[in-house]
Each structure stands twice: as structure tokens, then as C-alpha cells.
């Protein structure tokens, strides 16, 4: 095989055994890898509870990982989300994907539960399970220092060990598989860390073809201001988006009660750059390098984190923003959910949080103590326990990122239809609604958005399966990546062939969610967005979303996606996509 290594490792933590599986080429070609293949392995278990020992956690590479393909260092981690109950997955960078591939593995499926805290250490195909009880409660940075000699490191922090529903898995000390709380699934298995070191090489079918396709992509990336422009994410990190969101009046402020933050100009990426003079860093195999590390190793927050730890909490202290980010990383918890849960708490209690309170509440959450215990359950469960679930600004119980949906209607629809709950990355319509890529669309209109969102969800499912970084798609498209895929694997493919697979992958997720009872009822936004206006001004009007138009767009989406009017999968569509049709209990339907 080229691109793929042809081997999947299965580890059973209950019995401390492992085996190697060699899937046939059809399985690979049907699911590509990454998120697609992970979904294939997750599906049979999806109706289990997330803490059922048999629930797998899946680490999966795509065929492009470890090759010269641009942004080839990403991978997918998937399980069932403790936070949302949906399929739960994250694309994550760092070096884990690359090391895994060099070890001759496409992925690892971990099931079972250890009776004490352990770590898994992999060197090529040799697997060692070690006692990790001395690392119990250890923060990310120290654990990383201890383990980095063993290659790439994926680990959980104290938050996961203390039951935080939005705890993350952190790779190489700072690359977070942040969303959906999948860190908690590792904790439920008593697995503190995983290290991988590989010494092999990834076979490529056609090196010349790969080089050509790669140059095409480099050229497009260079021509894209948001990436390589002098104020683009290569130089300012994803925080480059901050000023734009503010000027477009869609920066969620005060728990989404406003959409413009008066101190934004003092908290932006330019202010961070001045203060910390960061260097460029990033995932293995990437030339964009969107991560920023300041003097003394300070990690500069990403856009979502910057926005939520400033505007959403009305915090005007840039150092608190940076410290909050560092603390979430250290504890191993998702910055979006953490900040948004604090904002919800602030609104319910009617108290604006001081910088000191923000830090101490985050500590409490990570340590599972005091008020942190209830806040660690996420904003939805917290708000519901106070009788005000509508003040949790979440979809499917997962907190929304830093794009106010009243300022980008495609984003509104995409938040609602996302299979992992409140997430901007399933479709990322910000690309055309705000960043004008590939061309601009009218951000205040639902017209045409249903099909666009469906196509983008399919596309991003492919990107997360190849695997590549979504950022490169501001510049490039599947047209170029299909050539990369063909050159790497030798399997001839076009952009449209890949999109078809993306459609299968996404529909598979809809089926998995349906089997857990998800329907149109959950494909919805918090009532605030339909009732309250955002902060209008400078000729921009931020109106409440029109509920009727939203529902019409969602109905269109269902039709285009091939779902029934309740958002439920349809047998004919499933079989058209080559998917098995199962009822809610998991047995085959007639």
C-alpha cells in the first residue's frame, strides 16, 4: 500500500492485550482514513455509554500524514462525546499523526479499562503498557517534560481525572484535541498518556505528481492574505481574525448579549505580538505555522480563546486572557467550553467576573473543587440546574465558538446541523461569509446556504479524513488535494469522488446520532439568537435571526442532505451511499 500503512492497532486495556489488523483496501478506499475510518470503527459501539469500557477511543491518521503533502501533520481522535452524547471527534496537530505513521500504523483503537492509571508507549510496533499512578493529577507541562523523550505524546490533565465534561486530550504539550470532552473518555479508561515513536517512512506512489500538486497548493497559499499575508495567520496566528470579527460586529460579548466589545482594539493579535514577540510554530508537516509561542515559551491563545476570554467575559486584561489559556492547557480542558461556561455563570449570577475570579474558577473546575464541580459539567447542565437552560449558549449542550450567528447566517445553520454540537469547523462558512474565500456570499441571508453548508460539511469530512488542515482550504480546494491523494495512494480520484466519500462519512455520523435519539429537536440554536438583536452600528445592523427563515433553511438542508423532515436518516439514501441501515438498537432493519 502507498500512503496508508495498512495496519491498525487494537489495544484492550482490560486484558492488557493488543493485536494488529490489516483492513482490506476496500475499507480504506471507502472511508479514506482519519475521521472517516474512525467513524467506521466507532459505529458498532455508538449506543454504548461513553464510560462503558467497550466504548473505543480511536486515534486515526489519513493517507497523507507523514508525506510531503502540505499540512500533513494532522490526525483525528474520536469516541462518543461525554459532553454532547453525539459522535465526538477532533482534528489535532502536533507530531502524533506523523510518528504514528512512521511507526507503521494508520491508527489505534483503544477499548477496555485498566484497573489502575497507566500509560501506553509505542515504538514502531512494540507496545508497552506502563503503570502511571505516579502521574496521577499531574498537569500537562510537567507530564510532557517527563514523556517527550518517548516521541509524540498525547495526554490528559487533571481536569479529565476530575470528571470535567469538556476535558481535552493534549498532544505534545500544547496541541489540543479540545472539543467534545474526549479527554474524559481516556480518563474513564484510566489512560493518562500515550507516546509514539516511529522510525519508518511512508511509501508514496508518485513522488513527481505529489511534488507538482504540492507546488500548486503552495502557490495558492502564498496568494491568500488570510494565510500568508503579512497580517495573516502565519504571522499573527488565528488571532488575526480578531479585528475582523469585531469590525463585522459579530464578536460574542457578555455571553452573547452583545456582538461588539469596546476594548477589542487593546486585546487583539497585534497587541499580543507587541507584548510577547512570538515566534512561528505549528504542526509537523506544515509550512503555514499558525501557532505562536512567545518569549519564555508563553503560548499565545488562538482566536476562539482570545475572543471568549476577553469579549465574552468582558475581560479587558490581556494578561488574564493569556493566563486563562495557559491554565486551560495545563489542566487539559477546552477553552471554548470553559470560557463560555464562566460567561453563563456570570450572567446567571448577575456578576461580572474579575480577572482574579476567572483564574480561580478555572482552577476550581480543573481541580473539581468548590463551585468548579458544577461548572465542570458545562454551561448547559449548570444553567439547567438553575432553571435557566436558555442561558447556556450551546448547541447539543456544547458551547458555541466565537462567531455570533446573527452576523453570519450560514454559520447559524452550520452550528445547528453540526454532528458534534456547537462547532464552527464542520462547515466553516466564515470562509465565504467573512473571509471572501473562494468568493464572498451575503452573510445576512439564508439564500443558498443550505446546499453550501452541506457541501462544506462533506468537504471538511474529507479534509479530516485525508488528513489535512482546514486552514489550507482558504486557499486551495479538493481539486488540488485530489491530485495529492492520487499521487500519494495511487488510487485515482477527483474532487467530486472525494466529496462523495465525504457525504458518506457525514451521513454515517447522522445515523450514529440518530441511533442515540438525536433529531431536528437538537439541530437548533439557543432562543437568544431569535429574540435579541446584537450590537448594531457603523452601518451594520445585527438583527435577531428570523426563526421562519432559519427553519426553512434547515428544512432545505434536510432535503439536500437526504434526511426526512425530522432530520432522521433515510434507508434509501443510506444504501445509495453504501451504508448499512440499522435501527436504534443496532440490529439490521428490513
Partner 1 sequence: MKQLVDKYVNKLVSAGLAEEGAPLLGGLDAELVWNRSDPACNELEEVFGALNINSLLFSKPAEPYLSIIEYLAKGADKAIHPNDSETRTFMHDLPVIRDFKSRQITGALKERKSVIIPGYGIVTWGTVSPEQAFIFYSSVCFACFVKFFSDYLTEVRNGTVSKEQARVFERVVRQLTPLPEEPPVLMHGRFRLEEDVYRAISEAGRATVKHHLVDSFFGNVSFRYNNTLYISQTTSSLDELEGCIDPCPLDDSSCTSITASSEFTAHREVVLRTGMNAVLHGHPKFSVIISMDCEKEDCKFRGQCHTRCPEERFVKDIPIVPGEVGTGPYGLCHTLPPAMEGHRGVIVYGHGLFTVGQSDFNEAFTNLLNIERMCSDEYFHRVGV
Chain contacts with partner 1 (rule: CB under 8 A): 216, 218-226, 228-233, 236, 239-244, 247, 265, 268-270, 432, 434-441, 447-452, 455, 458, 479, 482, 494-497, 499-500, 503, 555-556, 559-560
Q: What are phi and psi of 363, to 5 degrees?
A: -60, -45
Contact 176, 41 (CB under 8 A): no
455: partner contacted, choices ligand SF4, partner 1, none (Cβ within 5-8 A by kind): partner 1
Contact 58, 42 (CB under 8 A): yes
Does 291 bind ligand SF4 (CB under 6 A)? Our answer is yes
* Rounded Cα–Cα distance for residues 282 and 428 (Å): 21
Closer CB to partner 1, 112 or 282, in the complex: 282
Least gap, CB of 221 to ligand SF4 (angstroms): 9
For residue 369 the three cell numbers come to 473543587
Least gap, CB of 94 to ligand SF4 (angstroms): 8
Closer CB to partner 1, 90 or 240, in the complex: 240
Closer CB to ligand SF4, 290 or 487, in the complex: 290
Q: Total residues contacting ligand SF4 (rule CB under 6 A)?
A: 13
402: partner contacted, choices partner 1, ligand SF4, none (Cβ within 5-8 A by kind): none
Spatial CA neighbour of 335 closest among 356, 343, 27: 343
Least gap, CB of 11 to ligand SF4 (angstroms): 27
Spatial CA neighbour of 536 closest among 404, 414, 339, 441: 404
Site string for ligand SF4, 260-289 (x = CB under 6 A): ----------------------xx--x-xx
Contact 459, 185 (CB under 8 A): no
Least gap, CB of 432 to partner 1 (angstroms): 5
Closer CB to partner 1, 363 or 555, in the complex: 555
479: partner contacted, choices ligand SF4, partner 1, none (Cβ within 5-8 A by kind): partner 1
Q: Cα 128 from chain centroid? A: 29
Least gap, CB of 416 to ligand SF4 (angstroms): 25
Does 170 bind ligand SF4 (CB under 6 A)? Our answer is no
Site string for ligand SF4, 457-496 (x = CB under 6 A): ------------x-x-------------------------
569: partner contacted, choices partner 1, ligand SF4, none (Cβ within 5-8 A by kind): none
Query: Considering only residues 54-83, where is the footprint of ligand SF4 by CB under 6 A?
Result: 71, 73-74
Query: Considering only residues 78-107, where is the footprint of ligand SF4 by CB under 6 A?
Result: 93
Least gap, CB of 384 to partner 1 (angstroms): 34
Does 391 bind ligand SF4 (CB under 6 A)? Our answer is no
Any residues with CB less than 8 A from the CB of 454 and at least 6 apart, and which? 557, 560, 561
219: partner contacted, choices ligand SF4, partner 1, none (Cβ within 5-8 A by kind): partner 1
Least gap, CB of 404 to ligand SF4 (angstroms): 23
Least gap, CB of 512 to partner 1 (angstroms): 22
Least gap, CB of 461 to ligand SF4 (angstroms): 17
Least gap, CB of 467 to ligand SF4 (angstroms): 10
Least gap, CB of 497 to partner 1 (angstroms): 7
221: partner contacted, choices partner 1, ligand SF4, none (Cβ within 5-8 A by kind): partner 1
Closer CB to ligand SF4, 157 or 282, in the complex: 282
* Rounded Cα–Cα distance for residues 70 and 463 (Å): 12
Q: Helix count (H) and strand count (E) of the chain?
A: 25, 16
> Which position among 165, 170, 290, 393 is part of the footprint of ligand SF4 (CB under 6 A)?
290
- Burial bucket for residue 533 (CB in 10 Å: 0-12, 13-18, 19+): middle
Closer CB to ligand SF4, 184 or 283, in the complex: 283
* Lookup result for grid cell 491568500: 224
For residue 288 the three cell numbers come to 503555514
Closer CB to partner 1, 5 or 224, in the complex: 224
- Burial bucket for residue 61 (CB in 10 Å: 0-12, 13-18, 19+): buried
3-state SS, residue 181: helix
74: partner contacted, choices partner 1, ligand SF4, none (Cβ within 5-8 A by kind): ligand SF4
570: partner contacted, choices ligand SF4, partner 1, none (Cβ within 5-8 A by kind): none
Least gap, CB of 234 to partner 1 (angstroms): 9
Contact 467, 91 (CB under 8 A): yes
500: partner contacted, choices ligand SF4, partner 1, none (Cβ within 5-8 A by kind): partner 1
Cite the beta strand spans of 181-309 per DSSP E: 191-197, 279-281, 291-293
Closer CB to partner 1, 441 or 467, in the complex: 441
Based on its alpha-carbon atoms, the radius of gyration of the chain, rounded to whole angstroms, reads 22
| Cα atoms in the 13 Å half-sphere on the side-chain side of 423 | 25
Closer CB to partner 1, 123 or 244, in the complex: 244
* Rounded Cα–Cα distance for residues 358 and 348 (Å): 15
Any residues with CB less than 8 A from the CB of 294 and at least 6 apart, and which? 272, 275, 276, 277, 278, 279, 300
CA dihedral 488, 491, 495, 498 (to 10 degrees): -100
Report long-range pairs for 412-416 (Cβ below 8 Å, ≥24 apart).
412/525, 412/529, 412/545, 412/550, 413/446, 413/449, 413/450, 413/453, 413/550, 413/553, 413/554, 413/557, 414/453, 414/456, 414/457, 415/525, 416/523, 416/524, 416/525, 416/550, 416/554
216: partner contacted, choices ligand SF4, partner 1, none (Cβ within 5-8 A by kind): partner 1
* Residue numbers at the binding site for ligand SF4 (CB under 6 A): 71, 73-74, 93, 282-283, 286, 288-291, 469, 471
Amino acid at each position: 500500500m502507498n500512503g496508508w500503512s495498512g495496519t491498525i492497532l487494537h489495544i484492550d486495556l482490560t486484558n492488557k492485550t493488543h493485536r494488529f489488523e490489516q483492513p482490506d483496501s476496500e475499507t480504506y478506499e471507502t472511508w479514506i482514513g482519519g475521521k472517516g475510518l474512525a467513524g467506521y470503527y466507532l459505529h458498532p459501539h455508538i449506543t454504548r455509554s461513553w464510560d462503558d469500557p467497550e466504548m473505543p477511543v480511536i486515534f486515526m491518521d489519513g493517507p497523507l500524514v507523514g508525506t510531503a503533502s502540505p499540512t500533513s501533520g494532522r490526525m483525528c481522535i474520536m469516541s462518543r462525546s461525554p459532553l454532547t452524547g453525539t459522535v465526538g471527534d477532533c482534528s489535532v496537530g502536533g507530531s502524533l499523526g506523523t510518528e504514528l505513521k512512521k511507526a507503521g500504523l494508520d491508527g489505534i483503537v483503544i477499548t477496555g479499562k485498566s484497573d489502575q492509571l497507566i500509560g501506553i508507549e509505542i515504538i514502531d510496533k512494540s507496545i508497552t503498557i506502563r503503570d502511571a499512578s505516579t502521574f496521577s493529577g499531574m498537569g500537562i507541562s510537567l507530564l510532557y517534560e517527563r514523556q517527550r523523550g518517548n516521541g509524540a505524546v498525547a495526554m490528559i490533565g487533571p481536569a479529565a481525572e476530575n470528571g470535567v465534561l469538556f476535558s481535552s486530550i493534549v498532544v505534545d504539550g500544547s496541541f489540543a484535541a479540545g472539543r467534545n470532552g474526549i479527554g474524559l473518555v481516556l480518563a474513564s479508561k484510566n489512560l493518562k498518556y500515550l507516546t509514539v515513536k516511529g522510525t519508518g517512512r511512508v511509501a508514496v506512489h508518485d513522488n513527481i505528481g505529489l511534488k507538482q500538486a504540492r507546488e500548486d497548493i503552495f502557490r495558492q497559499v502564498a496568494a491568500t492574505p488570510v494565510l500568508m499575508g503579512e497580517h495573516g495567520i502565519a504571522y499573527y496566528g488565528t488571532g488575526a481574525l480578531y479585528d475582523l470579527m469585531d469590525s463585522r460586529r459579530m464578536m460574542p460579548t457578555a455571553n452573547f448579549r452583545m456582538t461588539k466589545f469596546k476594548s477589542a482594539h487593546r486585546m487583539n493579535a497585534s497587541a499580543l505580538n507587541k507584548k510577547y514577540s512570538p515566534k512561528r510554530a505549528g504542526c509537523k508537516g506544515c509550512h503555514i505555522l499558525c501557532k505562536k509561542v512567545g518569549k519564555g515559551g508563553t503560548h499565545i491563545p488562538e482566536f476562539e480563546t482570545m475572543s471568549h476570554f476577553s469579549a465574552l467575559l468582558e475581560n479587558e486584561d490581556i494578561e488574564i486572557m493569556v493566563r486563562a489559556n495557559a491554565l486551560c492547557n495545563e489542566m487539559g480542558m477546552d477553552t471554548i467550553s470553559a470560557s463560555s461556561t464562566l460567561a453563563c455563570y456570570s450572567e446567571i449570577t448577575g456578576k461580572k467576573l474579575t480577572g482574579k475570579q476567572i483564574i480561580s474558577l478555572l482552577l476550581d473546575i480543573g481541580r473539581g473543587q468548590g463551585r468548579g464541580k458544577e461548572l465542570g459539567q458545562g454551561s448547559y447542565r449548570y444553567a439547567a440546574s438553575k432553571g435557566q437552560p436558555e442561558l447556556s449558549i450551546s448547541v447539543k449542550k456544547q458551547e458555541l465558538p466565537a462567531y455570533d450567528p446573527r452576523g453570519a447566517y450560514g454559520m447559524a445553520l452550520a452550528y445547528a446541523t453540526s454532528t458534534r454540537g456547537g462547532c464552527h469547523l464542520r462547515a466553516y462558512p466564515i470562509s465565504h461569509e467573512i473571509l471572501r474565500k473562494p468568493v464572498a456570499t451575503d452573510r445576512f441571508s439564508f439564500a443558498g446556504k443550505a446546499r453550501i453548508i452541506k457541501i462544506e460539511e462533506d468537504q471538511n469530512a474529507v479534509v479530516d479524513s485525508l488528513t489535512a488542515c482546514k486552514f489550507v482550504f482558504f486557499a486551495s480546494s479538493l481539486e488540488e488535494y485530489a491530485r495529492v491523494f492520487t499521487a500519494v495512494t495511487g488510487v485515482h480520484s477527483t474532487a467530486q469522488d472525494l466529496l462523495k466519500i465525504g457525504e458518506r462519512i457525514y451521513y454515517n455520523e447522522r445515523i450514529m446520532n440518530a441511533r442515540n435519539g438525536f433529531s431536528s429537536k437538537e439541530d437548533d440554536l439557543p432562543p437568544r439568537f431569535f429574540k435579541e438583536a446584537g450590537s448594531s452600528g457603523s452601518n451594520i445592523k445585527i438583527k435577531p435571526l428570523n426563526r421562519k427563515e432559519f427553519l426553512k433553511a434547515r428544512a432545505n438542508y434536510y432535503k439536500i442532505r437526504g434526511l426526512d423532515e425530522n432530520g432522521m436518516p433515510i434507508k434509501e439514501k443510506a444504501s445509495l451511499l453504501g451504508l448499512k441501515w440499522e435501527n436504534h438498537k443496532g440490529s439490521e432493519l428490513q
